[in-house]
Structure 1
């Protein structure tokens, strides 16, 4: 029985003990850090764990319990699922399906929308939805080029469907696995593999129908399909050509020697000498009279250069996209240059760095011409801007560099659907391994974390995943986030903080029907998830939901399911879920576009999920 001891609406609240107040203070600080993000959220989670252990006499979290999150079955299972998803990704299965969809349904808007949403929702139930969306961004771009439908009309629905698809199975999201672990600890009832699949199907179909019928009318066309990348990123005013005069002090000096002394925002993108075009790295290149430089700079910096460095505007100073896409035979390095969009992945290690601290141009042999952050395009002082997850970089690079960026888990290359190095021959093996992992867990032959770990061994042994890829495929920020937050849920239970919050809910409910209370829990959790981590929402809300259900005589498991489903529907902001961030830049969305499309869907899902839980499990 809960510590509430059967508190009814209108009853006096249990006393606020120093232990409860301390836990609330830790929660408040953690939430503040989650929202403002002065440090990565996984670091915040580890800080929470340290605080709980250090204050053991009050939090009742001993050192073994504090670090127990690292050995939790939830943490181990999530880690294993990252590697299993990598095996599917490296096989090229989803890319192959995407290419087939682009070719088969690319001429019909309705068919392409249904096919794209079906792929996003269906696959996300069995592999991590982040790589699913990463794969689908270039697929959507390819379809948009064929049909003339703006990618803005497709990318956000893809993100939403990937979220909802994660609710088809236990392994669909890390949130499900964590909620199962908390449910097992509090109720002795972990989730089975297909525990809530029937409701997940209802929710997925509801979201799909809404996005197909209502979505197109609510989403604006932020990016035109006939725009070249130069126009799309507003580069017309920021790229120009200048000629080095014979009396210029730059003659005989390298590019670095000429530009470093000047505190101006300018990059030399190309150097044209006679009939030859040179691209990066241009820093060591010695300048000569008559050299034509293609500059990325603003008007003020350009005037400074013209005044100080003996440069003249070229006779035709308008730079077209074709000029930045160089032919192989005209370049010094026998390499073709292209313009391409590169999205910074939510799990990228370089988030928070700047182009300058990364030494991006030399490190990646690529030039960043602009950064798009949602609907805003940044041209000025780009080297000083800290990169954020979801930023879209307009990059000029060789095909070899673009291929390397495509393999780098820090980036998603837009417009490049296929790669020549996919292990397509491993598709049946990878599918078979995932199927066996799911079957063993579903039939309860072994626990899910055991079958998932066995799946890792099988993926590496069969060559679906290489040993070095096994470690790089894991989003370690999620692992540390889970490990750090699990002890917080324990502290809320042991100190009575969860029971106190539940008493507040019961006292405020005024005798409302349990179904309505269930719906309110869903809605509140969904709103909270939009500003903090979905995993943090589960850790904080499940203990409160369980105690509330017990206090009002409802089924605690139904309340656990409501919180679990709500934590995977962060549809009101781009920061609420990783996949929302991934499509933020490529779709050119405004911050409010998510609320415009997501708020009605959030309310619709509140009703559907609440009634679905009441129908399937009772309240």
Structure 2
């Protein structure tokens, strides 16, 4: 018979309920919720058993340190161009074959994500995938969710595959004095990756709808009726004005994006001066165009159809760029008017895409949100700034047909050094020469000293929200344990399911963790469920290590929502997806792995 829970456990359960509610509703950001939980644990110390020192232990946790270092190591590999070079090799392998393309994406992304943080892997692969999909006349909607899912599955191959793995190892060590080694996950991870990859290739790719048609970016964003050319006549009042002054003077919803002047084609930054006989390429709806022509004493050129090629050619001056609002971008909640995007980047936003909806009118006052897609016209130089600043995720850059990206000789770059450093970190940790946190920090030092990444870029590469989330949420796991909450729930599960095999109980914990991961992030789901799962394993006579594996792998299955994991959100706009697409493809995969993973754990580790 299970006794009533202690008062201390009830207090912690109430705190958990409030935290889960805040995580789900995002009334405040997850990192702020986590730090609020940390403060509440100390204020309620008589019940939680967590004092100031224990509450701050998350900041000194090996998990937090390791994850911080892995962000920098991944950014170092990315900056060397190694992943873009890999994309060029894939393009050669694909050679126009659709099946080869989908196979190459899944087969390459999974193993790579086992050793390099999957977020930058997906960020670098999105442009490659969209361009290669265009070459084989396949909708990118067929490939981008599989790209995200493959990266999540690949993260289960090694300890450093995801932040969640490192955190789970640290928690397990605190709970039972046993932690995961570098390759503890690998046998099970290989099974999960193979099963998941087979599902992605045989089921997901055929099942996904073609949300985005295989067309150029102008057509993809529905801009055929919104791009026009006008001629600057001799008596136009715009002559001598800068582009910014002209648009302010006429005060209509028009953007001047390009100037054709004789044999020259010029991108139109706000300080470019308009001259007589210029041909202006403008973005405007029909009414705004009529007003612009009338007020500016211009002449419309109705036969001049503006295509992607005409905007990109001559190469090197201007280009079309598809991007999306990055997770936790400073642009979220801003409008083009308040963010002054054109002045910051010398670009013009031509249209927005939110899910399957396109926005062409009054875009200056459109409030941007995470995951929104944008079509920009800008310079090639600005593309590099967009990639490095982090507020926008570049997902496709328009290029002329038969364009081939050139790379310097491999050994004239820092790529071999960066890859060698990551390999060294893995080897040092795997051979128990150094703890993983120390090995990862040594790798960061090696990359900075070796010139792979600058100190300023290293700091920028860290997702500080994740670090604060970890540091704030780790003490909650300690409170669940020290308050008696984990022991009580473990007894409750054991008493409620005396006739159930341990394998079924493991499957239930796997499914619970996966469902929570879709709502409150994988990190939070592990902190909430792992102490209870370990305690339950002890109560039912099962292996605690096996149950910890089940929870850790369950957290990697946030497949059914775009917000469950950040790579899902990253592909949302480029793929033109709807929320239901993740449920349609992700839920069957999640249920499939709910059966496969516990059975594989039992066969490999004996539940």
Q: So what's the TM-score if we normalise by structure 2?
A: 0.90
Other-structure match for 2:414: 426
Q: Which residue of 2 aligns with 1:572?
A: 560
The offset of 1:236, in angstroms, is 1.9
The 8 Å contact of residues 166 and 173 in structure 1, kept in 2 or not, is answered as yes
Q: How does 1:52-451 map to 2 (within 5 A)?
A: 52-225=41-214, 227-242=215-230, 255-256=243-244, 259-260=247-248, 265-271=253-259, 277-282=265-270, 284=271, 293-299=280-286, 301-302=288-289, 313-316=300-303, 318-327=305-314, 336-346=317-327, 348-415=329-396, 425-451=413-439
Superposition deviation, residue 304 in structure 1? 5.8
Query: Partners of 2:69 and 2:350 in 1: how far apart?
Result: 38
- Give CA deviations for 1:553-607 in whole Å, capped at 9, x if unaligned: 2222222111100111111111111111111122222221111111111111111
Partner deviation per Cα, 1:193-245 (whole Å, 9 max, x = no partner): 111210000000001111122222211222233x1111101112333345667
Give the deviation of 1:338 after TM superposition: 1.2
Q: CA deviation at 1:185?
A: 0.7
Q: Structure 1 residues 289, 440: CA separation in 2 closer, same or farther (over 3 Å shift)?
A: closer
Work out whether residues 90 and 423 of structure 1, in 8 Å CA contact, stay in contact via their aligned partners in 2. no
Deviation digits for residues 419-473 of structure 1 (CA, Å, limit 9, x no counterpart): 8589853333222222221122112122111111111111222222222222122
Partner of 1:535: 523
User: Which residue in the other structure is 1:584 paired with?
Assistant: 572
Following the alignment from structure 1 to structure 2, what is the Cα–Cα distance between the partners of residues 512 and 255?
73
Q: Which SS does the other structure have where 1:194 is aligned? A: coil
Gaps of 5+ in 2: 398-403
C-alpha separation in 2, matches of 1:499 and 1:399: 59
Distance 1:119 1:418, change over 3 A: farther
Q: Do structure 1's residue 456 and structure 2's residue 437 form an aligned pair?
A: no
Cα contact 2:257–2:269 (8 A) shared by 1: no
Q: Distance in 2 between matches of 1:424 and 1:98?
A: 19
In 2, Cα distance between equivalents of 1:240 and 1:88: 42
CA distance in 1, matches of 2:293, 2:491: 71
Q: Is contact 1:106-1:143 (8 Å) kept?
A: no
Aligned residue for 1:511? 499
Q: Does 597-606 or 43-52 show the bigger shift?
A: 43-52
What's the CA shift for 1:299? 4.5
Q: 1:423 to 1:365 in 2, by over 3 A?
A: farther
- Shifted more, 373-382 versus 184-193: the winner is 373-382
Deviation at 1:319, TM superposition (A): 3.4
1:500-542 per-position Cα deviation (integer Å, ceiling 9, x unaligned): 4444444544632221111111112111111221101111111
Deviations 1:270-295 (A, max 9, x none): 3556666553323x556677765443
CA pair 298-75 structure 1, distance change in 2 beyond 3 A: same
Provide closer, same or farther for how the CA distance between residues 315 and 476 of structure 1 changes in structure 2, counting only shifts above 3 A.
same
Query: Once the two structures are superposed, what CA deviation does each residue of 1:123-178 show, in whole Å capped at 9, x if it has no partner?
Result: 11111011111121122123223322222222211111110111000000000000
Could you tell me the TM-score, scaled by structure 1's length? 0.89
1:111 Cα offset (Å) = 2.6
Aligned-pair distance for 1:296?
2.5
Q: Answer whether contact 2:250 2:295 (CA < 8 A) is retained.
A: no
User: What SS is found at the alignment partner of 2:115?
Assistant: coil
Instruction: Say whether 1:14 aligns with 2:4.
Output: yes
Residues 277/98 of structure 1: CA separation in 2 closer, same or farther (3 Å cut) = closer
> Retained in 2: the 8 A contact 1:184–1:190?
yes
Q: Is the 8 A contact 1:239 1:319 kept in 2?
A: yes
Cα distance in 2 for partners of 1:365, 1:451 equals 42
Q: 1: CA distance between counterparts of 2:302 and 2:606?
A: 77
CA deviation after TM superposition for structure 1 residue 60, in Å: 2.6
Q: Separation in 2 of the partners of 1:253 and 1:445?
A: 67
Unaligned runs of 5+ in 1: 1-10, 329-334
Aligned length: 600
When structure 1 is superposed on structure 2, of 234-243 and 66-75 the one drifting more is 234-243
Distance of 2:583 and 2:430 partners within structure 1: 37
- Once residues 566 and 546 of structure 2 are traced to their aligned partners in structure 1, the CA distance between those partners, rounded to angstroms, is 27
* In structure 2, C-alpha distance between the alignment counterparts of 1:49 and 1:385, rounded to whole Å: 37
Q: Shift of residue 497 of structure 1?
A: 3.1
